[in-house]
Amino acid sequence: MVIVPEEDWVKKWAQTKGIEFNFQALCSNADLKKDISDDMMRLATEKKLSSLEKPKQFILYPEAFSMDNNLLTPTFKLKRMQAKIFFMP
């Protein structure tokens, strides 16, 4: 799963942790990823999702998907091949 966190939320998170705000750098921060993971698991449990519906792995990406970065079509659909190439190691 690829998650593009909201920049304002990340800024507030960084302030509560006393961390200097740098959105791109924070998207690589293990503590941020853990807090997001914990919140997703809490919501998944609250909504009674099955284990198949709960995300197992994800990455945080600092840039929204768009036509400019070639991840969306003009009709705003995900270009799957580009996304695979872009996000797979």
Show pLDDT as tens, one digit a residue, over the chain (89 residues): 899 999 999 999 999 999 999 999 999 999 999 999 999 999 999 999 999 999 889 999 999 999 998 899 999 999 999 888 878 76
Query: What distance in Å separates the CA atoms of residue 61 and residue 67, rounded to the nearest whole number?
Result: 16
**Residue-wise pLDDT tens digits, 28-50:** 999 999 999 999 999 999 999 99
Residue tagged 């920049």 (tokens): 7
**Is the separation of the CB atoms in 14 and 71 below 8 Å?**
no
Cβ atoms of residues 5 and 27 within 8 Å: yes
Q: How far is CA 60 from the centre of its chain?
A: 4
pTM of the predicted model over 0.85? no
Query: How far apart are the C-alpha atoms of 79 and 89, rounded to whole Å?
Result: 17
